[in-house]
Structure 1
Amino acid sequence: MDEHNKDLALKLIQETKTIALVPSKIAATDSFGAAVGMYFTLLDMEKDVYFVYPGKVPDDAAGLIEKDRIISNVDERELLVSIDYADTVAASAHYSTEGESLRIKLGPVSKDFSPMDRVKVELVGFEFDLIIVFGAQELEDLGGTFTNLRESFSSAHLINIDNTERNELYGDVNLIDPTALSLSQQVFKYTSEWKMVPNEKAARAFLTGMTYRTPN
């Protein structure tokens, strides 16, 4: 294993705030457990971390991470409406629905209040600074996730973690160790070398991945 690559990976993790973890379905419970272990470890480091995994969770990994923590569709966006009511006496806000329309009422405001200047509408979604992929020999192994994250993959830094010689080295940093018995063992080893301390949930995930590893 190239120590330089491990140092680069640690530097990226330390210096970035918003991180997406993307386990491959091909490596099943092993990659899922490795990613969950890293997820809870990074949460303890106060990172803004997202777990991206569409579809059914592997049976052996059920319960490792709460369903509401899993992002199954990164293509979805939210509509954010911001209203600047500075220098007004607005004291209340109400909303109601009319058919399929949402109506928002803020008041009182003066007759000179300008919606064009004061109301901002935008689509917000997932913007990742760093993406860590677990157990994918090539990005196409991620299927629809790669398609939906294509723009993010082109703009974010990418760490590629795998334990097979067949990996195509598509990352900005490639952590490939064919001698590792499992991805979960491999990632747990990195966290130890990086002086990260897995909490109970992370340790359970790593152990589960090691137990149900997929042969190289």
Structure 2
Amino acid sequence: MSKKDSRITNLIEKSHSIAVICGLSGESTVPVGIAIASYIEDVYGRKSDIYYSGDFSIVNSELFSQADIKSKFMQKSLKISIDFSNTDIKTVDYYKDGDSKLVLEVSPIVDKFENDRVSFDVVGAHYDLIIAIGLSELSDLGDFYSKNEVVFEKAEIINIDNSPKNKNYGSLNIVDFSASSISLLIFSKFLEWGYIPSKKASKSLLVGLSN
């Protein structure tokens, strides 16, 4: 039976959405990213999104059949919802009013149309827990970080790395300079936590250990 690490457990169980971000050395970070995502699903029953923004050609092609690996966050958008019950809407138009205003025009509506029947929400990338794999600092991600800095700032960070250059920037830092690879580091942590890797996690770690 798996023994949950209390520090990780606290962060995972209070989170609503989890992203696993793999460093640009994809041949070593992507296998660990897949293994970590498998661990989270197996032990905590939680899904997570895996991201890698580097050169896909250096990543073992077998890994792409193991998991859905995304290269960028979903672009944010504004979603407007209208409760049109008891209203027979026939047209929905929009137009620009001046340089900075967009007008949405819906017709016809009932005479007494309450404002609270219109709501809006911002949809897109939003994570409250980010697991960073093989990153000495988040800025090592280049444009992926600079273009999404707000997403990172709003999230708790679990920092997993074996580099002596690591800045210990995480809410939780799992950093071991003595580990010869990140795959070996996380494999040893799995043993420590009593987690027997699933078939997917095992295959991914074997790929990482062979690099």
**After TM superposition, what 4+ stretches of structure 1 lie above 4 angstroms from structure 2?**
93-98
The C-alpha deviation readout for 1:119-162, integer Å capped at 9, x for no partner, is: 33333112211111111112221111211331122221111111
Distance 1:78 1:66, change over 3 A: farther
Distance 2:58 2:92 in 1: 42
Letter in 2 for 1:117: D
The Cα of 1:117 is off from its aligned counterpart by 3.3
Asked whether 1:40 is paired with 2:44, we answer no
Contact 1:79 1:121 in 2 (8 A): yes
After TM superposition, the score normalised by the length of structure 1 is 0.74
Percentage of pairs with the same residue: 27
Contact 1:36 1:65 in 2 (8 A): no
Distance 2:119 2:65 in 1: 34
Distance 1:41 1:97, change over 3 A: farther
The C-alpha deviation readout for 1:84-130, integer Å capped at 9, x for no partner, is: 345x487xx999999xxxx9x99xx9734637432333331122111
Number of the residue aligned with 1:31: 29
Gaps of 5+ in 2: 95-103
Letter in 2 for 1:43: E
Distance 1:111 1:7 in 2: 55
Letter in 1 for 2:41: L
Distance 1:129 1:111, change over 3 A: same
Distance 1:22 1:82, change over 3 A: same
Aligned residue pair count: 197
**Which is bigger in relative contact order (C-alpha 8 A, separation at least 6)?**
1
Contact 2:37 2:47 in 1 (8 A): no
Gaps of 5+ in 1: 1-5
